[in-house]
Structure 1
Amino acid sequence: MMKFITEEYLRDLYRKEPFNTYKLQQGQRLTPGAAQYLSDKRIEINDKALKVKKKVPQSNQNEDKHTESKQAETAKQVRNIDLNLKRKLYYKLKSIEAVFLVTSSEILREDIFLAQNIINLGKKISNVRNVVNGKGTLETINCKECSGMNSANFITELDDCFEITEFHIQLKKGNVILKMHTLRCALQELQFEIIETYNNDDDDLKNRIIENVNSIINSLSQLICSAVGGKECQRKE
């Protein structure tokens, strides 16, 4: 016959002689109030029945091991996919960094100031590449405010200030403009690879990398504007 131990019984027992452990005998069970009382008093419950391990059938043990093995293999595959995506992004950034260097070298013959700015932005790409590789921290890219960009929207994805067409080929700095626009397009495509790479990873890091790349893209847009119209902002609202 099951005997239930009540809170009132335990209170009387504790009042007569305080104790740190209460031993449940076979056939005894605690009422909810009694269990809460022991918990509040931080009294340990000694119940041998709870410590008896149930024998698990061999078939269930094998099934559990098989499930654990499959879960471990799946986790390993996910880790490998994530690593491969990061390596892919790393080499993509390295490739774009090289294009920055080639572009700056070609622009150097026509505009030293623009070439130096391209070199500086290429170094920012190098910084992002190192962060993707788990080294260093993201550097801040300062905003040179104009009528179309400010510190609030500089890290966001903005449309091109204006569409680059065959008209711009005819301009004095047409070659420079097209080369910078090509860089900008490559970085805009890169955004989707960043999202894919960090899809199962740290959202905060992903967002900060995207904001950093947005800043580089917007900096290129400002350089393109300067090549087209000098110091006047060419952004079309």
Structure 2
Amino acid sequence: MFKFITEENLKDKYRKNPFENYILKENEKLTPGGREFLQDKNIKILSFGEEISKEKKEEKRESVLDKKLIIKSKIAMILFFKFGNKYINNDIKFGKKIIIFGKLLENLKKYFEGRILNLEIDSNLKKENYKKINGEIDEIYIYQGENSKILDLYYLSSIVEELKYLIEERLCGKEDEIKILENYLDILLELLDEVIGETIGGKNIGE
């Protein structure tokens, strides 16, 4: 048996709590006056089935984006571990730093997986006494002996930058969470800049 939704029903509902969409349940029908009221207010009429379908599509999209962030952060983590191990035999200090940075990305992956709730940077890593090197790679560095390290570091920085943009896409509208995650990755980018500065020849402030 159908329940008819009248103009008065809708006016009362709208007065108490204005709405942009009206979902018709399976056993409901709009009276001509009710339909006209919704049209006059530019309120979209959805059937119950349409709303369920819309919610499922949104859930699917959220799921895909969640997995994309997990996979992207995992790829970034593996790359840092890979490059750290590449250099650790010849330059243990340099290799260890890259591996430590990889562990920061491992924590980020765990965050996206829901395995940890908070992201923290070890206070020992928050050093600000290195020369910052930014911008494009100068041709001079291509011919220096350390060029392989420098190019790898710029590559790793680009991976982290890409992850930042993906976070903005994934968490669109969640400004507080975006800010926390971006601050976390900004610290990692600053640390990478410090290592680039060391590798090129940057010195500690005060030296």
What TM-score comes out, normalization by structure 2 length?
Answer: 0.72
User: 1:56 aligns to what?
Assistant: 4
Q: CA 1:56 to 1:186, structure 2 compared with 1: closer, same or farther past 3 Å?
A: same
The match for 1:163 among 91, 113, 136 is 136
Cα distance in 1, alignment partners of residues 154 and 90 from structure 2:
16
User: 1:180 aligns to what?
Assistant: 153
User: 1:35 aligns to what?
Assistant: none
Cα distance in 1, alignment partners of residues 183 and 59 from structure 2:
25
User: 1:18 aligns to what?
Assistant: none
Instruction: Please provide the CA RMSD for this pair.
Output: 2.7
Matched residue type, 1:76: K
Unaligned runs of 5+ in 1: 1-54, 150-159
Matched residue type, 1:56: F
Cα distance in 2, alignment partners of residues 119 and 147 from structure 1:
19
Cα distance in 1, alignment partners of residues 176 and 26 from structure 2:
44
Q: Is the 8 A contact 2:87 2:94 kept in 1?
A: yes
User: 1:211 aligns to what?
Assistant: 183
Aligned residues: 168
Matched residue type, 1:61: E
Q: Which moved more, 1:78-87 or 1:160-169?
A: 160-169
Q: CA 1:189 to 1:114, structure 2 compared with 1: closer, same or farther past 3 Å?
A: same
Matched residue type, 2:167: I
Between the two proteins, what is the percent identity of the paired residues? 23
The match for 1:144 among 109, 113, 127 is 127
User: 2:76 aligns to what?
Assistant: 96
Cα distance in 2, alignment partners of residues 126 and 119 from structure 1:
10
Cα distance in 2, alignment partners of residues 108 and 121 from structure 1:
14
Structure label with greater radius of gyration: 1
User: 1:79 aligns to what?
Assistant: 59
Unaligned runs of 5+ in 2: 6-24, 36-44
Cα distance in 1, alignment partners of residues 96 and 26 from structure 2:
70
User: 2:39 aligns to what?
Assistant: none
Q: CA 1:164 to 1:232, structure 2 compared with 1: closer, same or farther past 3 Å?
A: farther
Matched residue type, 2:71: Y
User: 1:190 aligns to what?
Assistant: 163
Q: Is the 8 A contact 1:104 1:115 kept in 2?
A: yes
Q: Is the 8 A contact 1:168 1:174 kept in 2?
A: yes
Q: Is the 8 A contact 1:141 1:212 kept in 2?
A: no
State the Cα deviation string for residues 77-134 of structure 1 (Å, max 9, x = none): 1121011101011101111111111101112233211111101000000001111111
Q: CA 1:61 to 1:116, structure 2 compared with 1: closer, same or farther past 3 Å?
A: same
Q: Is the 8 A contact 1:180 1:220 kept in 2?
A: yes
Cα distance in 1, alignment partners of residues 73 and 90 from structure 2:
26
Q: Is the 8 A contact 1:184 1:217 kept in 2?
A: yes
Cα distance in 2, alignment partners of residues 93 and 59 from structure 1:
44
Q: Is the 8 A contact 1:121 1:216 kept in 2?
A: yes
Query: SS at the partner of 2:114?
Result: coil
Query: SS at the partner of 1:56?
Result: strand
Query: SS at the partner of 2:137?
Result: coil
Matched residue type, 1:113: K
